[in-house]
Every structure is written in structure tokens, then in C-alpha cells.
Amino acid sequence: MAAVSGALPRWLQRPTTYSGLWGWVVTVDHKRIGVMYGVTAFAFFLVGGIEAVTMRLQLATPANTLVNPDTFSQLFSMHALTMIFLAIMPLSAAFFNIIIPLQIGARDVAFPRLNALSYWVFLFGGLLLNAGWLFGRSPGAGWFAYSNLTSGPFSPGSGMDYYVLGLLVLGTASMAAGFNFVVTIINMRAPGMTLMRMPLFTWMTLVTSFLLVLAMPVITVALIELGFDRFAGTNFFRPEGGGDPILWQHLFWVFGHPEVYILILPAMGIVSEVLPTFSRKPLFGYPVVVLSGVFIGFMGWAVWSHHMFTVGLGPIANATFAITTMFIALPTGVKVFSWIATMWGGSIEFKTAMLFAIGFIVLFIIGGLSGVSHASPPADAQQQDTYYIVAHIHYVLFGGSIFGLFSGMYYWFPKATGHLLHEGLGKLHFWLAFIGMNITFAPMHWLGLDGMPRRIYTYNSNMGWDFWNLVATAGSLLIAVSTLVFLWNVFTTMRKEKDAPADPWDGRTLEWSISSPPPIYNFRTIPNVYARDAFWHQKYVEGSDGRPRPVPTGGATAHSEGHEAAESPHDIHMPGLSYFPIILALGLALTAAGIMIHLAVVAAGVLITFFGIYGWAFEPADPE
């Protein structure tokens, strides 16, 4: 809704402070929101890590009694939920926020207040999902929450209520972010930046945003139905009322498989930026990499039943989904070859960001191959519900997504903060994480093939699983140490002077053409884009030997035209700050939490939500 002109009541006026803590609460600046996303998500990443290490300690020795089975169920459920919804997705969102407007040459996202709303809703949703640790109990039926484990008699108490309501709130945040970035990338590109000139990270963000927008409604409906079953006594997933628990599985995985690509595509985009930069070569086969990303986005909708091979859907369904699943490995393989070919013959610089990118490729290949092995229903019937699957998902989600995200952190940290992370500590972090990750998760392949089931809280010593479990636990401690090294690196770096140049890596894309950190308006003059790798072509021309030569300083560059027309920073119009995103987010979260607490809380939440929406709609475009 539009701002409506006229004299305004005091409470409707825009805040004007940009300093202090308050400045962060009312900010609509995409870079600040990105930093808040990053910090919050990393805090949740640590929580999920503590849950993981606790489980590994419990499993270190047979018949261990560190935690009881009930706590163990809550630990593995919350570990997955936290890592997926509160760590990987929002860490990706942090990069969308900080980097996308810079890469496409924009001054902000299309809807700055909606962007702030996404963050606050995510924060409150994350707290709601975790509230079970303090009040009542946490969800304990796995992140997939198969029905009818989740109905009242099998999941008494508040655990699954936190699951339903927390994920509903988080889904709202994801959809809002998805809407925003689809519109931003389609509509806010600098002149000349055609689709096929967009940086790969921007492309993968676009595909991910479409997946968010289309996949989250499906899980929303599944959660609403489960919520009705739990709160209103309906029959959606209750066999005694005629309901079919398999429906949950279908709805969940129709969302869940696109979700897998929501988790991995941003990391693939990051790696596709880092590899060319540190190989000093353009990405090999750019159009093919783009198209395979888009193709993955489409095909991701046609494979969901590979999570249900052992349900008994019949040979035709199983064969169909086996074929589509094996087929979707093709575009992924194409990308891997493009990355390797990008490095081939390049002058490679082994900075930490590059090490993590190479680590991503190595680990993702291993995870991808084990994944293809359970695309075959007979093989899957053996691997289903064993540690083999645990090994697979951690190779693709930790070795893949998290390594890709760490690569992005080292790569873009100077751009976001103005500080260069310490390379020595960075390399130590990489090697500890890489070795620790393999010591933890490689043995799970053998444990799984040896029949060790997932989600068991302990095992007997006569099963022959003792040794590799102890090894895996030792590896997990190494991963924990590597994360501490990273935290130490960030901590000491932030205490030092800002020393990052605008373009520390000799980058290729537009974000490196402006200062680190960028001014609030990003680009003083919106750049004109004449080629893929726009910034590279501002800096280099191809010499007669085919190698890049720097553009002579002061030399004529058609690419920097428009400098005379540079606007004075004071004339650049930036969106006004706003209270209403956090108010509206609070209202939504309170409404959801109220369903568990009391109808009066719901009413209060709805009132605050309405207040937030109307304030949002009627506040002026600028402070008066």
C-alpha cells in the first residue's frame, strides 16, 4: 500500500537515528540486515554444533548413558532443524542480502522494509523453535516429523507444537525473503546487466528464491494440517479417523527435495564466484552452468519419492523416481566438471576462500556419489535408515553447503566489514575442518553398510561398531576446534583497524568496484554493464598473447563513462528507516506462540500485527 500524504500523527513518522543499537533495530539497509542474518545464523550454527557434539559424545562408547533416549531424540531432531532452517538457510540469506544488490549494481533490494521483516520474523521463529529447551520439551520426531509419530498419543507435550508453530513462522520469513530477491534480481539490475551477464551467485540466488516461494507453501499446508490435528482434533494424519500418514510424507518431501536445493544452490553459486577469481580465469562454460542450475530447479520437483522408496508405493512409482533421481545427477555433474575446468590451466592462488571452494568440490563429489547409490531402490532398501544416509547428507550439507558458505565468508568478509580475515588462521581452520569432517563422516559409511541404524541413542558392544563410533566422535571434536579457530580469527580481526582495500582479490564482479565496506548508497553512480565479469573488463583488456593486460591508468575506458554525472552523495535517495518491520514480526510470532499459550495472547498478537501492517502502509516515505 502506498504512503498517503498529509499531516501525520507523531507515531507514524519515520525514525531518523542511524547510530547505536537502535539504528540496527530500525534499519532497512540490506548490508546491515545481511550482517544481522549472518551473526544470528552463526549463533544458531553453534547451538546446532553443540547438539551434534553431545550426540557424538553419547555415541562414543557402547551402552553410554550421557543422555537418555528421550533427550537424544530431541537432540537429533533439533540438530537437523537448527542446521537446516536456522543455520544454512539464513547464512545463505546473509549472502543474498549483503552481496546481491552489490553484484547487480543496485542501491538496495526492491523492498527494504520487507527485507527487515524477513530477518525479524526469522529471529523470532528461531527463538520459538528453540523455546522448547526452556519451556516444556523440544520436538523429538526428526526434522521430517513422520506422521503418526507426531500425533497427540505418540508425541505428548509441547514438543511438536514448537515444531509446527516455529516452522510456520520461519516459513513466512523464507517466503518474504524469496519474494524480495526474485523481484530484486529480475527488476533492479544495473543497465546492461542482461540475464546472461549476471554473476553465477546472483543466478543461483534467483533459482533458490523461486524454490523458496514455491516450496514453502507446501510445507506450510502440511504444518497447518498437522497443527489442526494437534490443536483441533482433525483427522488429516490420524489413521483412526481414516487419515493417511503417507500423505504427510508426500507433502513433506514435495517441499523437502526442493529444500535440498535451497540448501546447496547458494553454496554452488559462491563456489562459482570464488573459483574463477582465484584461478584468474572466467568460469568455464558459464551458460551451461547457469542452465544446469535452472534445470536442477525444475527437476528438483520431480524426485521427491526417492525419500519414500521403502514405503511401498509400488514398482512403477519407485522406478520412475529412481530414473528422475539418477537424471538429476547429470546437471550436478556438469557443474562439477565446469568448476574443475575453470581451475585447469589457471594461475591458482590458494587463499582460504579458494581452499574451502576446492574442499567443497572434493567433499560434494563424495556426497554426490553416495547419493546416486541410493537413487537405486534396491540399494536404498539396504541403506535406508542407516548411518550410510547420515554420512551422505553430511558430505553434501556440511562438506557441501557449509564449506561453500565458509568459502563465501572468507571471500566476502572484507567487503562486508572492511576487515581482512587472517589467512594463516583461515588455513588452519580449513585443514582442521577438512580433516575433522572426513574423520567424522567417512566412518559412518562403513557403520551404515554394517547395519548401524540412524537415530539410535546407543548400541551394544558386541555389534562391532565401537571403534568407528569412537573415531567419528574424535573427528567431531576436531570440527569443533576448527570452528573455535574461526571464531578466534573473526574476534581478533574485528579488533584491528579496517585494512581491507576495495578489491583485495582482484575480483571480477561489481561488488569489488566499490569501497570495503561500501557506502550506504553502494554506488555513487549506477554502473553500466557491458560484459559478463563486468568489473574485470573495467580493469583488464586482452593482450595480443591472449593474456589479460591491465587497462592503462587514465586510459580511455568506455566502461567508466558517466563519471561526470556522478551524483553528490547527498542527493542519493535512500529508503527511510522503519519501526514497523520488527513490530509486525513481533505480532506474527506472538500470534503463533499464543496458539500454545492462551487465546488472549493470540488476540494480542493479531492486534499488534494489524497495527504493524497499518503503520507500515501509512508511514511516509521519508522522515519529515
Partner 1 sequence: MIHASSPAHPAPVETTTGLNNRKLLMWIFLGSDCMFFGSLIATYLLYRGKSLVGPYAHEVFNIPYTSISAFVLLMSSLTMVLALSAIHRGDMRGLKVWLLATALLGTVFVGGQYFEFTTFVNEGLTLKTNLFGTTLFVLTGFHGAHVTVGIIILLSFYLVAARGRLKPEQHLNIELAGLYWHFVDVVWIVIFTVVYLTETPNIVT
Contact pattern from residue 246 through residue 285 relative to Cu ion, giving x for each residue in contact according to CB under 5 A and a dash for the rest: -----------x----------------------------
Q: What is the spatial distance between Cα 284 and Cα 525, in angstroms, rounded to a whole number?
A: 31
305 close to 216: Cβ distance less than 8 angstroms: no
DSSP letters along 129-155, please?
HHGGGTSS----STTTT-TTTTSTTTS
Task: Residue 148: name the closest of 217, 235, 71 by CA.
Answer: 235
Contact pattern from residue 111 through residue 150 relative to partner 1, giving x for each residue in contact according to CB under 8 A and a dash for the rest: x---------------------------------------
* 622 touches partner 1 (CB under 8 A): yes
Q: What is the spatial distance between Cα 482 and Cα 484, in angstroms, rounded to a whole number?
A: 5
Site residues for partner 1, 571-590, by CB under 8 A, read 571-574, 576-577
Taking the alpha carbons at both ends of the chain, their separation in whole angstroms is 19
In the complex with partner 1, which residue's Cβ is closer, 50 or 221? 221
In the complex with partner 1, which residue's Cβ is closer, 353 or 577? 577
590 close to 608: Cβ distance less than 8 angstroms: yes
312 close to 291: Cβ distance less than 8 angstroms: no
In angstroms, what CA-CA distances link 356 with 95, 361, 418? 16, 9, 21
Q: How far is the CB of 276 from partner 1 (least distance, A)?
A: 24
Q: Which does 257 bind (CB under 5 to 8 A by kind): partner 1, Cu ion, none?
A: Cu ion
* 599 touches partner 1 (CB under 8 A): no
Q: DSSP label at 548?
A: E
* Cell numbers placing 484: 573455535
Q: Residue 405 is inside which H or E element, if any?
A: helix 403-417
| Segment lying near partner 1 (by CB under 8 A), choices 61-69, 235-243, 377-385, 423-431 | 235-243
Applying CB under 8 A, among 179, 327, 431, 530 the residue interacting with partner 1 is 179
* 215 touches partner 1 (CB under 8 A): yes
What is the number of residues in the chain? 624
* 621 touches partner 1 (CB under 8 A): yes
* 429 touches partner 1 (CB under 8 A): no
* 196 touches partner 1 (CB under 8 A): no
Handedness of CA 509, 515, 517, 520 (dihedral sign): negative
Q: What is the spatial distance between Cα 354 and Cα 348, in angstroms, rounded to a whole number?
A: 9
* 21 touches partner 1 (CB under 8 A): no
Task: Residue 103: name the closest of 31, 176, 29, 208 by CA.
Answer: 31
* 247 touches partner 1 (CB under 8 A): yes
In the complex with partner 1, which residue's Cβ is closer, 234 or 320? 234
Applying CB under 8 A, among 51, 225, 273, 503 the residue interacting with partner 1 is 225
* Cell numbers placing 266: 547458494
In the complex with Cu ion, which residue's Cβ is closer, 155 or 325? 325
In the complex with Cu ion, which residue's Cβ is closer, 79 or 257? 257
Applying CB under 8 A, among 69, 217, 424, 464 the residue interacting with partner 1 is 217
In angstroms, what CA-CA distances link 441 with 288, 387, 397, 621? 32, 9, 12, 52
Q: Which does 234 bind (CB under 5 to 8 A by kind): Cu ion, partner 1, none?
A: partner 1
Q: Which residues bind Cu ion (CB under 5 A)?
A: 257
Q: Which residues bind partner 1 (CB under 8 A)?
A: 1-6, 16, 18, 110-111, 175, 178-179, 182-183, 186-189, 193, 213-218, 220-222, 224-225, 228, 232-236, 241-244, 247, 251, 254, 520-521, 569-574, 576-577, 614, 617, 620-623
